[in-house]
Amino acid sequence: MAFGKYIRELRESKGLYLREVGAALELDNAFISKVENEDRLLPKKHLEKLAEFLNTPINDLMVLWLSDKIRGIIEDKEIGRKALLKVINDLGKENYSE
């Protein structure tokens, strides 16, 4: 699941409005909407505050956020796949099988 979709589902399940999330993060409602629609990625510095506000584990947000960040950096699928495999191999894929 993408970060924005996860945030929207979590926000809606808690009965929260965009403006409430925006106020908690000191960000504009329109920006939060763009994050939820996957048009923008939330700046990393806001993740901890968002996790606290939505009462969700920071690690859950970080995994989704980083996945979207990597996806945004790697635009060419073939080159991107090769780059990711190299990173996994460099890190020792037996330790990163999840």
Instruction: Express each pLDDT in 31-77 by its tens digit.
Output: 999 999 999 999 999 999 999 999 999 999 999 999 999 888 887 78
- If pLDDT is split at 50, 70 and 90, which confidence band does 97 have? low
**What's the rounded Cα separation, in Å, for the pair 69 and 22?**
21
> What's this model's pTM, rounded to 2 decimal places?
0.80
In order of their start, the domains of the chain are: 3-95 (1.10.260.40)
pLDDT in tens, 4-26: 999 999 999 999 999 999 999 99
Which helix (H) or strand (E) covers residue 68, if one does?
helix 58-73
